Structures are given as C-alpha cells and as structure tokens.
Amino acid sequence: MAEDAGEWIELGEIAALKGVPLRQITIGRTKIALSYRDGAFGAVSGVCNHAGGPLGDGRIDPAGYIVCPWHGWKYHCVTGEGEPGFEADRVPRYELKEESGRLFVSLRAVTTRNKLPHDPHPLSRPLVREAGRVRVLGISTTAMDDGNPRYSTSEALLEVALDHARSALDCDTKLVRIRDLAFRHCEGYYSKSASACTWPCSITQMDANDRMDVVYDAVVFWADAVIVATPIRWGSASSLYFKMIERMNCIQNQITIRDNVLIRNKVASFIVTGGQDNIQAVAGHMMLFFTELGFDVPQFPFIAHSRGWSAEDMERNVAYVRRNPDLRAGARALVERAVEKSRSLLGHAPVTKTERAGRKAHKMEIQEVE
C-alpha cells in the first residue's frame, strides 16, 4: 500500500518489492509500471502510448523492455524510451529513491510522454456509401485444395446467386473466398480487456500481411447485401467461417465500448449445405451473429440443402445439387429478397443512431494518458 510522504510517495519495503520483476501501481490517477531488473528499480508510466494498455501487467524482455500485454508495444523499463528505431516514442519516467529500507517515487515525471505520429489505417476512414447500384457481396467459407479442386455445393449455389444479381437485378457483385486469404486467428485481445479489441482489428493494424482487411473493407464499406455460404461440418458451419467471424468481433465490440455502429442499412442472407443435417442450428447461429453486428435480414433469409445424417454417399449429394433446378431457383430467389430488402433500406433516410434493447451499449472508462 502506497503512503503519502510529502513530495515523495512510499511504495513499500524494498526487500518485498524486489520479489516481483514488474507490477502495475496506481496512485490517485497516476499509473506506474514499477520494475526490478539487474539489481535496480525502474519506474515509468503504466499507460501504453498505443491504446492505453497497462504496461505494469506486461513482461520484461531480455533487453530490458516492457512488453505491453495488450498489443506488444515496447518501452525500456528504466528510461521509458521505445525499442530501437522507436526511441522517440516514449512514456514518462519517474524518479525513485531508497531510504531506511523503503522505496519512494516522485509523481513529478522526469521526462514527458512523446507519441510518434502514425498515419491512420485505411480502415479507420469515415463510413460513406458512394452513389451507385446495389452491391452484393458473396463470402464463401468452404475449404479447398486448389491444386486438386472439388465441387463445392455451397459455393456453387452462391455463384448462382451472384450471377443472378449481376445479370438480372442490375447489381454490382463481388466474391470473396476465405480460403484465398492468409490471415491470423483471433488472438483474444478482447479477453485481455474490451478496450484492447480495437477497430480496425489490432492484428490488422500490426500485421501488414494479414489479409482479413479484405473482409473488413468489403463488409463494412463496400457491400449493401452480403450472402455467406458455408458447408456443414459436424453439425456446425465450417472452420473457416468461425475463423472469419472470430476476427469480426472487433466490429461488434465497437458497439459495446464506443456506441459506434459500423453496420447500418445492410442485409445479410445465408446458404447452408452439407452431407449431414443440423441446418436450422447452423443458419440460426449465423443469423444471430450477423444481426448482432447490425445487419438486417430479408424474409426467409437462408436456403439450405442436406440429405441427412445417414447419407454418406457424398458423390450422390454433389450430383443432386449439380442437377437440381429447385436449388438454383432458390439461390436466385434468395438474392432477389436480399436485394429487395437492400433497396428498401437504401431508399429511406439513413439511420445514424440505434438504441439497442437488452444488451445496451455502454461507455467504458478508458485509462487516461497523462
């Protein structure tokens, strides 16, 4: 427990403080990352320059840099300077003194905070829908060995829907195959702190090679209507579908912590096919997720096909989908409903404020930077 000793604040017994390499200490509104390394104490601000992460809850690397637990930004545990190449990006340093076996800190920072300028990420641009035709995005989440491609029933019906939107409904269309995009799994920044899950996604900001930005750009900025297609895998949507939506948590999290709704006046529909049943559960989960992001759905928002649990003769399932005119008609009708709903939404004055029932959006107290 810190005690006030005039200009200096007592932090505690030195022998006890040496037992922990790094800790976060809060004194009033000041947060300090107190370290002990190589026989010496260090005290720097406990607030990271990037997103306000708690530096004292991080770790010290072999070179003596505190690694922020949220997104990995680094500051020297004694000087507060950034890692080599980013020395000018620093957090404040505080003076320490030892007296009678006790450690004291002065809250008058010896250095100032300095943030290097960073160009805004392209995905942080304002949400503006450019004038033009209705735009229909298809997202295929089936896995594939492109060197030995197979027939995908879900993707085939998605292509039918997109072709109909383009040729008969006067829409612009785009197809995104998730298997073509190399992107990292969600790394659980939200589980560290709601504020650590950012928009754009923390991974997207840090990793220029992460291609989840293709999905973000298409879904948040480009599309008016989205059709997501998935096979059924052991009673669930595909693993690629889940890998994608876990990374889309940053879209929903903006509603929770910022009251910032990124999805407005957009429509989502779904295509579900598989060799086993469980269609309603898969479609229900997909509808729940996308409506939580802010999407509307048309009446009858999905089409599906399955020959049931006992149908292990998958080659017959493929042949059935290939030759069945009703499934193709269903895909065309699905996109017609989605486009009709989209045109209805776009024809009204845009909604700029939405009150959420139940799980109401709320503001969170974010750590202030001194």
Note the pLDDT tens digit of each residue in 218-237: 999 999 999 999 999 889 99
Task: Specify the CATH superfamily of domain 122-346.
Answer: Flavodoxin domain (3.40.50.360)
pLDDT score, position 277 = 82
Summarised one tens digit per residue, pLDDT across range 336-354 is 999 999 999 998 766 666 6
pLDDT above 50 for 361:
no
For 285-294, which contacts have Cβ atoms below 8 Å and span 24 or more sequence positions? 285/236, 285/237, 286/228, 286/230, 286/237, 286/241, 289/245, 289/248, 290/226, 290/228, 292/252, 293/248, 293/251, 293/252, 293/262, 293/263, 294/255, 294/261, 294/262, 294/263, 294/264, 294/266, 294/354
Burial class (CB in 10 A: 0-12, 13-18, 19+), 202: buried
Summarised one tens digit per residue, pLDDT across range 281-322 is 999 999 999 999 999 999 999 999 988 777 777 778 888 899
Summarised one tens digit per residue, pLDDT across range 105-133 is 999 999 999 998 888 999 999 999 989 99
- Give the C-alpha distances (Å, rounded to integers) separating 141 from 212, 223, 228, 338: 13, 17, 8, 19
Under the banding of pLDDT at 50, 70 and 90, the label for residue 365 is very low
Under the banding of pLDDT at 50, 70 and 90, the label for residue 177 is very high
Residue 252 in contact with residue 283, Cβ under 8 Å? Answer: no
Summarised one tens digit per residue, pLDDT across range 187-217 is 999 888 888 999 999 999 999 999 999 999 9
DSSP string, 109-159: -SS--B----PPPGGGS---PPSSS-EEEEEE-----TTS----HHHHHHH
How crowded is the C-beta side of 274, counted as CA atoms within 13 Å?
A: 25
Mean pLDDT for 6-20 is 90
| Domain spanning 3-106, CATH architecture | 3-layer Sandwich (2.102)
Tokens of 42: 């260090």
Q: Which of 22-26, 141-145, 172-176, 355-359 has the lowest mean pLDDT?
A: 355-359
pLDDT score, position 7 = 81
pLDDT above 60 for 31:
yes
Summarised one tens digit per residue, pLDDT across range 236-246 is 999 999 999 99
Report the Cα 285 to chain-centroid distance in Å.
18
pLDDT score, position 320 = 87
Domain boundaries, the chain: 3-106, 122-346
354 phi and psi angles, rounded to 5 deg: -130, 120
Summarised one tens digit per residue, pLDDT across range 32-80 is 999 999 999 999 999 999 989 999 999 999 999 999 999 999 999 999 9
Q: What is the DSSP letter of 202?
A: H
